[in-house]
């Protein structure tokens, strides 16, 4: 196998066509109007995109032909769900769907599974962020994303975290002349440190004002926005912001 090239049985990868932007727009319009042949052309014209993504995973799978088929499934899903009104390039949208299918396939034997609903929401969130960027020239804040999808910041964290790869706890993270340090070693140290921080935080929370503690719990445990807390406490969002800032400053002083 060539170093920078993915070979798939039965496919001459060097002769695959790449569609122009105008061709893509035309074919998507045809497909949305019921032309099934347009979909086939969209699939064929984006196979190189699948191959480019496979390069990242060619050392993680013994059968690239199977992985290619999985990638094509993701491509087809991307074509079925893509809308020109998104205002983003199809490749930007499709990469997430293709990689999602590939990662799900590679994780089939893992103990950690990510639900399909979370994965689908993660694609929607990423698409929304790209669309927002194209309209406002900045990415939306977490609060704006949460309001758009009616989810908490904690749920948003889980959604975005589902896009990252899982690795073995026995994965070497440092190797010096054969003396390797494994991920599990760092996890054990971090767990002890996190436990100390948790004890210190619990003690700090017991010393701040009741309203400050309530706001902190609502914000960082329940995942509510400042506007939601303001509605519950029947105060303004600016007041919630001040209470939160005062609480955080007090907690920092008590912990440090």
Would you state the pLDDT for residue 3? 42
Q: What is the pLDDT of residue 163?
A: 62
Which pLDDT value is given to residue 52?
Answer: 85
User: Cα torsion at 206, 210, 212, 213 (round to 10°)?
Assistant: 50
Burial classification of residue 191, based on how many CB atoms lie within 10 Å of its CB (0-12 exposed, 13-18 middle, 19 or more buried): exposed
Q: Contact at 8 Å (CB) between 224 and 218?
A: yes
Query: Which CATH number, 1.20.120, 1.10.1740, 1.10.10, 1.10.287, labels domain 13-161?
Result: 1.20.120
- pLDDT by 10s per residue, the chain, length 256: 334 455 555 566 667 778 888 888 899 999 989 898 999 899 888 888 888 888 887 776 666 778 888 888 889 988 988 888 777 788 888 888 888 888 877 765 444 455 567 777 887 888 888 888 878 888 888 888 889 999 887 788 777 776 655 444 444 544 545 555 444 444 444 444 454 566 677 788 888 888 898 888 888 877 788 888 888 888 898 899 999 999 888 888 887 6
Residue reference for tokens 């061709």: 23
Distance CA(59)–CA(41), nearest Å, equals 30
Concatenated DSSP letters for 84-142?
GGG-S-HHHHHHHHHHHHHHHHHTTTSS----HHHHHHHHHHHHHHHHHHHHHSSPPPH
Domain boundaries in the chain?
Answer: 13-161, 172-255
- From first CA to last CA, the distance across the chain in angstroms is 56
Give SS3 for 18: coil
What is the third-level CATH fold of 172-255? Answer: Arc Repressor Mutant, subunit A (1.10.10)
pTM: 0.42
Packing angle between helix 237-255 and helix 226-233, nearest 10 degrees? 110
Q: What is the pLDDT of residue 111?
A: 45
Q: What per-residue confidence (pLDDT) applies to 30?
A: 92
pLDDT recorded at residue 243 = 92
């Amino acid at each position: 196998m060539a170093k920078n090239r993915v070979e798939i049985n039965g496919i001459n990868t060097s002769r695959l066509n790449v569609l122009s932007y105008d061709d893509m727009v035309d074919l998507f319009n045809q497909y949305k109007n019921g032309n099934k042949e347009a979909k086939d052309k969209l699939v064929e014209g984006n196979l190189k995109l699948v191959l480019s993504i496979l390069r990242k995973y060619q050392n993680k799978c013994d059968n690239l032909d199977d992985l290619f088929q999985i990638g094509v499934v993701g491509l087809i899903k991307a074509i079925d769900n893509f809308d020109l009104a998104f205002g983003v390039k199809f490749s930007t949208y499709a990469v997430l769907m293709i990689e999602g299918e590939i990662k799900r396939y590679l994780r089939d034997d893992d103990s950690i599974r990510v639900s399909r609903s979370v994965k689908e929401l993660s694609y929607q969130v990423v698409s929304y962020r790209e669309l927002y960027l194209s309209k406002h020239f900045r990415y939306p804040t977490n609060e704006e994303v949460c309001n758009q999808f009616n989810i908490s910041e904690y749920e948003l964290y889980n959604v975005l975290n589902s896009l990252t790869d899982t690795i073995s706890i026995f994965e070497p993270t440092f190797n010096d002349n054969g003396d390797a340090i494994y991920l599990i070693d760092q996890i054990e140290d971090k767990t002890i440190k996190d436990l100390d921080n948790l004890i210190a935080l619990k003690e700090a929370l017991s010393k701040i004002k009741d309203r400050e503690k309530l706001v902190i719990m609502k914000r960082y445990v329940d995942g509510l926005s400042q506007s939601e807390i303001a509605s519950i406490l029947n105060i303004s969002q600016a007041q919630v912001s001040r209470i939160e800032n005062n609480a955080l400053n007090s907690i920092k002083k008590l912990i440090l």
